[in-house]
């Protein structure tokens, strides 16, 4: 009898144990099943989601994988991260579904912000439209010959993106481009390729080129398929490759809009700001230079769009989860690439600028020039131009500044940099095909818009020493100083079209108005000292065609 009771007791204990195990398994699987069932939700990816492709790549080890998952196993661990995918109590499921639906709709609205904002902006009363209708912005470009275009493309040829699949487009650091050959008509070329084809001796893109707006939308919406760190440079930059095989340079957010460069920082150790890159593109366009490659702001998912798609082991190893349960990384570079200066998302979303790549150097070589007014990049030493007031006379006797338009291009760049407060212009580039008779490409503008409370007048030294300016630039500056075409209002209207709007705070916009007046005062002093005909170079008759090369 005792044996029977003992057996029954053991069976009862075993059943209780099995029931308890089953309940634990069900409780553990329930949140995952609910998340799996919400495939229609367009919520942002959170740190709690494990990457899909690490197992395939093979090189992450269990220890580092565990570090990235330390804060993601318990549902309560995401409370401090404001994750959009937290699962509420069972009684609030209806409310939760409504909330997820609302968030999905909001994400869709943000994704299509660039397309919708043009509909909301009234054309009537638009200062930008009025500016571009001004005669100064309606000058006809010169007739282009084969020598004036960067690429001589036969539009009857066809382009096949599939032909590029065997060229390892997504491998680490690969920056190759490809020529139009294949199956698609020229009108169906990807926008980045159409941008490259449109580059000529006088400009990166034409004044009303619809391809540029389309390219800006691509920079925001195209799927990112590969990410690698850019070699060189002092701060972290990423090369991002898109689904349409285009590439862009990504600069992540390091400072908020309101932060100014600390007064004790040297110009060469200042942060590079993502919003400065975006604002520089719009400023360059308003000044009618069109020498900055297209740049757009984008909110990037650090988990899905960087960590999960990179094949750069050095980059991947720097990812970690912060004590606030946010995804962070720091990469490798000369400055600010450490755990103390890590770039962290909220929880894994981070702002950044995406600048469209110029054509590959193998297809269109560029020449790098040392800026004559380059700073010393030393804590104590000064550059020659800082101690020699007649320095410009020496520059004007040195090729290529002794002839052509190069010196005037330097003056344009000086005005451009002063309006932004950019002191970091040590080199510049030109396309080698066009020789010395071409424009300067305004690259790398991330150290602009650092101080709105201070105007760095030393940036204007080239202008004060040389007292030379194009007539078109002078007249545009006078136009932008008028109340109806005030630069701050034009910039504000132009920047609102960017996804990261507001790109600049009001103080930076007002600082540009103040700096326009300072440039005009410098030019007024030059005219009074040297005479109008010496200072102002009349370029409104149209650029002189360069001599034919045999």
Give the three-class secondary structure for 328: strand
Residue 356 marked ligand-binding: yes
Q: Cβ neighbours of residue 444 under 8 Å, at least 6 residues apart?
A: 424
Residue 277 marked ligand-binding: no
- Where b means 16+ CB within 10 Å and e means fewer, 213-240 reads bebbbbbbebebebbbbbeebebbbbbb
| Alpha-carbon gap, residue 493 to 452, rounded angstroms | 19
Q: Sheet of 320-321: strands edge to edge? A: 320-321, 327-329, 343-344
Residue 357 marked ligand-binding: yes
Q: Give whole-number Cα distances, 312 to 18, 46, 316, 479, 487, in Å.
A: 46, 22, 6, 49, 42
Our answer to whether residue 424 is catalytic in this structure is: yes
The answer to whether the beta carbons of residues 296 and 307 sit under 8 Å apart is no
Secondary structure letter of residue 252 according to DSSP: E
Residue 54: closest CA among 46, 40, 66, 42: 66
Residue 251 marked ligand-binding: yes
Q: How many CB atoms lie within 10 A of CB 429?
A: 15
The answer to whether the beta carbons of residues 395 and 403 sit under 8 Å apart is no
Selecting among 218, 284, 288, 424, the annotated active-site residue is 424
Annotate 174-210 with DSSP letters as a single string.
Answer: ------S-SSB-GGGS-HHHHHHHT-BSS-SS-TT-H
Residue 355 marked ligand-binding: yes
Binding-site residue ranges for ATP: 235, 251, 272, 355-358, 429, 444
Binding-site residue ranges: 235, 251, 272, 355-358, 429, 444
Residues belonging to the active site: 424
Binding-site residue ranges for Mn(2+): 272, 444
């Amino acid at each position: 009898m005792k044996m029977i009771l003992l057996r029954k007791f053991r069976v009862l204990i075993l059943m209780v144990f099995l029931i308890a195990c089953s309940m634990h398994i069900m409780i553990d699987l329930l949140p995952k099943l609910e998340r799996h069932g919400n495939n229609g939700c367009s919520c942002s990816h959170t740190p709690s989601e494990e990457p899909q492709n690490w197992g395939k790549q093979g090189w992450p080890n269990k220890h580092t994988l565990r570090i990235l998952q330390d804060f993601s196993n318990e549902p309560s661990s995401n409370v401090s991260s404001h994750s959009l995918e937290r699962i509420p109590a069972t009684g609030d499921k209806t409310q939760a579904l409504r909330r997820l639906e609302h968030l999905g709709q909001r994400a869709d609205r943000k994704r299509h912000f660039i397309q919708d904002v043009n509909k909301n902006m009234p054309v009537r009363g638009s200062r930008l439209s009025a500016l571009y209708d001004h005669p100064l912005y309606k000058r006809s470009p010169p007739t282009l010959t084969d020598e004036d275009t960067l690429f001589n493309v036969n539009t009857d040829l066809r382009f096949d993106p599939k032909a590029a699949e065997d060229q390892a487009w997504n491998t680490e650091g690969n920056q190759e481009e490809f020529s139009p050959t294949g199956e698609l008509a020229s009108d169906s070329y990807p926008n980045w390729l159409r941008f490259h084809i449109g580059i000529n001796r006088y400009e990166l893109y034409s004044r009303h080129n619809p391809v540029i707006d389309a390219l800006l939308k691509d920079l925001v919406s195209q799927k990112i398929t590969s990410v690698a760190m850019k070699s060189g440079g002092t701060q972290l930059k990423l090369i991002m490759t898109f689904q349409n095989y285009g590439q862009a340079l990504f600069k992540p957010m390091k400072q908020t809009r309101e932060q100014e460069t600390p007064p004790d920082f040297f110009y060469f150790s200042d942060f590079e700001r993502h919003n400065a890159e975006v604002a520089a593109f719009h400023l360059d366009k308003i000044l009618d230079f069109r020498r900055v490659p297209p740049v757009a702001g984008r909110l990037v998912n650090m988990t899905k769009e960087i960590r999960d798609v990179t094949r750069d082991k050095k980059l991947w190893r720097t990812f970690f989860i912060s004590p606030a349960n946010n995804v962070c990384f720091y990469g490798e570079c000369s400055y600010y690439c450490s755990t103390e200066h890590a770039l962290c998302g909220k929880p894994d979303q981070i702002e950044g600028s995406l600048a469209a790549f110029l054509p590959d150097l193998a297809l269109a070589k560029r020449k790098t020039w040392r800026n004559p007014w380059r700073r010393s990049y030393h804590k104590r030493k000064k550059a020659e131009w800082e101690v020699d007031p007649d320095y410009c006379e020496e520059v004007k006797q040195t090729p290529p500044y002794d002839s052509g338009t190069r010196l005037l291009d330097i003056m344009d760049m000086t005005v451009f940099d002063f309006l932004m407060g950019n002191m970091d212009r040590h080199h510049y580039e030109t396309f080698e095909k066009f020789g010395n008779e071409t424009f300067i490409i305004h690259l790398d503008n991330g150290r602009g818009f650092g101080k709105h409370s201070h105007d760095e007048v030393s940036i204007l030294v080239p202008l004060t020493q040389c007292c030379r300016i194009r007539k078109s630039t002078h007249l545009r500056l006078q136009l932008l100083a008028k109340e109806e075409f005030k630069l701050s209002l034009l910039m504000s209207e132009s920047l609102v079209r960017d996804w990261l709007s507001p790109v600049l705070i009001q103080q930076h916009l007002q600082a540009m108005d103040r700096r326009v007046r300072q440039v005009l005062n410098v030019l007024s002093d030059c005219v009074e000292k040297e005479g109008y005909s010496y200072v102002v170079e009349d370029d409104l008759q149209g650029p002189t065609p360069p001599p034919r090369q045999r």
